[in-house]
Each structure stands twice: as structure tokens, then as C-alpha cells.
Chain A
């Protein structure tokens, strides 16, 4: 039986599944219910000087299908609106009942004095670690906090070093994805002495418009503002940023992965990409704490079937595959194959290839299975992506007789490249 115990920057928990700092981790009763459901840790809703929120806070980008499941989520809510006294009392109570679970205090204040005080109170309350919220991209940044800090490596480093000066417990820095290159921001946190980073926070976004009123959503009276984007749709961006930091030789700190995680498979991907654990917000907001059962079972099963005994053994397993484009083998060749027994003759591959790729899948005049002109197929995967039947179109490897050759090798040593396809 694999062991799900997790350690991220010195903060330990019975499993690698934490609630991200957000409404699901807003109060003691919620966090206790989450722990009972199986969550291993929770990053408390960001603490600071309590704010006042607007009504109408969220918006969603919906996918197709009945009910239109939200695939992207947007919010304009700020940090906690509850008093610090209540929050800290509840943190204390949660820790007393769940000593082995991780409770991390997410913090966001302005002055050095304020940092000193809130850190002392967090430690007194029994928090296992701190997460510095340098990521919120709406509202708080207008007040010089959140992403306003996370976008300035010097300020990031300075505040991180204050936190480290005052803290006796591990400090994670939560990074904003609203930057063009994540590396300097991770390094700033490291320079400030952080024990690890968490990412991503939300991405600046406009989720949609009320086209009759000419007003952005979520509409607050007659106005709106940009929000922070999260949910399934941001996972690829989060995975990229986690991977970038994880493979950076200079960085080397533990990472708590966040962004679009909703099931065990997503979590496995983040771990393989270099995250030591994962945090979840939107999927819990949409479906409740209960999703963790599937995450625990799925991860356990995955670990058993792949021979991992501990979570640490998985962390970063896929990093070596994250390479530069110039190192990819240009002579590696694949072509699409359609399984005639599975094909339902929808011809989606035909139209996709004709209009969006290289015009090499042809309609069958008898209404049968489309045919692929293999001499023209460039192996782009588009047909496989649009095919509604799993396993019907497979990309199969072709032995073209060429030795592997990368662009870098071609430029430096003149390695021979196979003839291009689809360039008529």
C-alpha cells in the first residue's frame, strides 16, 4: 500500500491534497468538514485587515452539454472579511482537533510591523506554515498588495525576508502568474529565504459581458472590474509555470502546485511535473469537499500500479521530458491511423484536416471510413483531437530510416533531416 504522506517545504500532511486559500478554507467549520472528508491540509482564506466584499463576485465560462459545466471560473473577491480574532481562534481549534493535518495561514498585510504581528499571531494559533499571498490580481493589488508585490521581484524578496525573520515555521510564497517569466519571481522568493513557493494564483481576466447592458460580468450595479481566472481552463498555464520552476537548476525549492486541479489525474500530473503537493479551489467550489475521495483512491491506485511507494518518489518524474524545442527529434515521424471498426463516420477528422491542417484525410465517397493519405500526413494530432470516439484514431510511429536529428544538431553538425511532408 503506497504511503500518501506529503512534505512540502517542511509542512507535512497525511496526503498531498490541500484546500487552496479561498472560500472553501474560509472558516474553521468548513476546514474541519474538509479534513473529515479526507483533505490532508488547508491554506486558510488569506488573512489581513478584514475587507468588505461586493455582491456579485463570480462568473464562469461554461463548456457545452446539459448544464454547461463551468470550465473556467472568475472572481473579484478580496481576502478575508472576518475578524482576525475569529480566524485565529478557529485555526487553533482546527489544529487541536487535527494535529496531523496541515493548516497554513495565508497572509497579506502592508507594513513590516503588520507582518511581524500577524506572523506572531499565526504561530501562536498553531499554524504549521505561512503562505505569503503575493498573487491576488484584483482589488488588493490596487492597494499595493497581492500581485503588486508578486510582480516586483525586489519587493517580493524584501517581504519574504521579513517573514523569514519573524517566522519559526516554514514560509511558502504564493506567486502570481500575471508575469511574463516566472523564474525571477521564484528566485526572488528564494533569495528572501522562502522554504517553498505555491503557484498559481489567479490570472487577470474578463469572464464575459452582459451584451444587452454593455457591462462586464460579474456586474456590480453598473460597473465591473477585471477578475482572477482559475478552474480547469488554467491548468495548462499552471503546469507550465510549475514545470519551469521545477526544472530550473537555480531554483530548487519545493513547489505547491495549484490551478485547475479537479481529480486524481490532474494531481498526478502536477506531482510528476515537480509539485510536492497540490492545492484545489475551484473544483471544490463547484462540487464540494467530497471530490477528495476520488483523488485519494486514484492517486493510491496509480502509485501502486506504477511502483511508487511514496509521493516523493513521483515528484518531478516528468521533468526530464521538459526540453527545449531545439532538442526535439525532427526525424521522429508519426501518422494518423483510423480504426475502421470504431469509426462512426462523422467526418469530423476530414473537415478538420482539410480546413485546419494538411488536406490529407479524404471523405469516402461510399459513405464509409475516411481514408488517410499517409504520404501527406504530417502527424499533427488534429484529427485525433477532434475524433469523438476514444481510441479510434491513433498516431502511429513510422520508421523512415533516418537517424534521430535535432534542430540544434542539424545547425551545429549538419545532421541530415527527413524530407518535409505537406509542403505542396
Chain B
């Protein structure tokens, strides 16, 4: 158990093999792109951002040379504005809604501009926010992922004490352990988290699993309110998936990001699933040099929940897709050698020395049932729009309530919950 905010990652990590997918703008590039922005009023890009960053203002400030103010505008709305700049699927969010699209003119590269300002701010250690005058109230937060961090930072601005219980050794949740490394590497996410914690009083108790090392009820005794930001659970498994070489996608990505994965002898890899975790796995496997990477997905290319731009990028790396097929079993003695799949043309075996299961993650809401906190049938916690759960003084946000979205949603929900906790405290 420790709370000192000096977290580090191993120096040898497979993720370090990846180059930056969208390199940082230099000043000239940033100013050139920023100067194109129309500085719209109440525009769709801002509506599309779950944290409603005042995008035209932060971009105009880049154009005037006010980088410090630009980053302030971003972080004021979204305290993980740097991670989001790099990890957000901007094609589906702000950039996709830039008004230039309607004019048939290339949209503003909002993510890259956001990275420009926030990267400088974090690197320079500019501080914008100070903790509010102590209210004497304290909040316990479960997990130290994006949802809890955003919630805690907002609570600190409002003067409440915060303790984050995090089962893993480093904070950040999937922001550190999940994001594809060509978008954001672990140490970069961690650097922003260190910066966020500079507001002071964000007490991260790492290596503490709530429900195991400390009882859920105990949180309620220790704190005036509890925020649950525990994300999703482990990868879903399939029957017969206990051969060596069959791994959960999120678990494998975590190993790749926090340590090293061995791909020796892996000529072909298969990823089961068609969501964004599957998309990331495909690009990561291809990027690490696996010669033959195949996705097996039960539906059609149009029906995939993975973003189109991600699938296009994967295809460019030579990844192959098999659609309309479901896994029927794993072949191999001890070590997997192929996946048996069943499609319209019957069964076939796809050779694979590595199989990643990207068919979803478990949901953890059931754990809270003894406290009378409701979850839906899938285990997703049921919170109201303000993040309140069905037990007084309990709140939640992020993947555990939204079922698994993006970092930016977790931040927006964590912040909204902080504000409603603050209102409920009545201080």
C-alpha cells in the first residue's frame, strides 16, 4: 500500500516498439491549422465533445500565441485533455462534426491542436487549478481510472478530501494499460496523471482492492460519499479457451503495455470479435510484426461496432477479415495451433499460434448488490444522469455505468458526479 505519487512503468515494454501514429504538431503547423478555424459560435464540435471543451476558444488562443490559455480552456473542461487529445476517436466526435465537413473542406484537426497545447502545458508543468478551501468532507473513490481521477480533481477544486482505492500498482486504469500505443503510451498517460495530482490531496492508495482488501461497507463508514469508477471486469472467455496461446484481448494489451509479450513462433494470430478492442489488437499484432493477422467476426463489415476508420487502418496493415463466422473450438495440445470457426460455408480451421478473445468484458456491478445498489442484467451499474446510484451517498461513472465507452465519457461522468456530490454535501 502506498500513496506517494511517484509511479513508474517498467523500462522494457513491448508498446515502446510503436512509433507515434499522429506526431505532434510543431508551432508553425499548429498555428497554420489553428488559423483555419472559423471560431464558430456554439458549434457542433463542442456539442459532440462529451466534456464540451470550448474548442473554438482554445484553438483561437493557439493562433494568438496564448498556448497557456489554450491549455487552460481545455483542462478546465476536461482534466485529462491530453490523453483525450491523443486517444479520442475524433473522427466520430469533434472532428467529425466540424462545420467544414458540410462545406466540403477538410475539417480542423482538433485532436492534434488539443495535443499541441496540452502537451506543452504538461511538459512545462503549468498549473492552473488550486484546491478549494477544505470543507471537512471526504470522498472515497473506487479505482483510479479516468472516471475517478476526473471526479477527484473536481472534488479537490471544491475543497473535499479524496482517497482513491486502486487495486493495481499504478493509477490511470485503461488510460495507462489499454490505449493503443501508437495513440498514447503508458508513460505519457502517467505523466498527465502526475500533473493532474499536482493539485494536491488526491490520495491514491494503490494495491488496494475494494471488496477484498477493504470491505465495500467500510468505505461508507470512512467517507461522506463514495464514487465507484471501477471500470469493466476481465475479458469474457469461451469454452475450451484454456490452451496456451489463447488470451483475453484486454489482458494481453495490458501485458504489452506494462511489460513485454513474446511473439516468438507466432506466424498467424486470430482476433475474435469486431469491436474497437479487436481493432486495436489487429493493429497491435500487425505492428509488432506478426506476419498473418486475421479477424473473425460473426456479423457483416457494416455491422461491426469497431469504428470504420480503425478497420480501414487495420486493413492497410494487411489484416484479413472473416465475417459471418463464429468460433466453434480451439485446436491444439497444450498450445493452440488453430481456431475452428463455423460460417455460412460450414466449419473451417484457421491456423493460429496466438488467439485473442475480444468479445467483451465482464461487468462488475453485481458486487454492489448486497448494499442494495442496482445493476442491470448485464451487471452495469444503474446511475441517474448525475451519477447517483440507488443507495444514498453512492455515485458512479465511467465504464462501470456506461457499459464501456471512451476515456472522454469517463471524464465527463466523473466530473458530473463530483458536482452532484458537492451539491449533496450542501457545503
Chain A residues proximal to chain B, CB less than 8 Å = 65-67, 263-265, 287-288, 290-291, 293-294, 297-298, 301, 389-391
Contact = CB atoms under 8 A, between A and B. Distances in A.
29 contacts: A65-B35, A65-B36, A66-B36, A66-B38, A66-B103, A67-B38, A263-B64, A264-B64, A264-B66, A287-B60, A288-B41, A290-B57, A293-B57, A294-B57, A294-B60, A294-B61, A294-B64, A294-B66, A294-B69, A297-B68, A297-B69, A298-B61, A298-B64, A298-B65, A298-B66, A301-B69, A390-B27, A390-B28, A390-B31
Contacts, number: 45
B335 to A, nearest CB: 51
B7 interface: no
B323 interface: no
Interface residues of B, number: 20
Contact of A301 (B57, B66, B100, B103): B66
Contacts of A66: 36, 38, 100, 103, 105
Interface string B38-67: 110100000000000000010011001110
A355 to B, nearest CB: 26
A301 B67 CA distance: 10
A301 B36 CA distance: 25
Interface class of chain B by DSSP? helix
A389 B31 CA distance: 11
Contact of B69 (A265, A287, A298, A390): A298
A264 B60 CA distance: 12
Nearest to A290: B57
Interface in B14-44: 27-28, 31, 35-36, 38-39, 41
A287 B28 contact: no
Nearest to A65: B36
A48 B38 CA distance: 37
Given A66-B36, A265-B64, A298-B69, 11 more contacts: A264-B64, A291-B60, A293-B57, A294-B60, A294-B64, A294-B69, A297-B61, A298-B61, A298-B66, A390-B27, A390-B31
B72 interface: yes
Contacts of A263: 64, 66
Given A294-B69, A297-B72, A301-B69, A287 B64 contact: no
A389 B27 CA distance: 10
A293 B35 CA distance: 18
A265 B31 CA distance: 15
Nearest to A297: B69
Shortest beta-carbon contacts, A-B, top 10 = A297-B69, A263-B64, A298-B66, A390-B28, A294-B61, A294-B66, A301-B68, A66-B105, A294-B64, A297-B66
A203 to B, nearest CB: 25
Given A65-B36, A66-B100, A66-B105, A293 B69 contact: yes
B65 A265 contact: yes
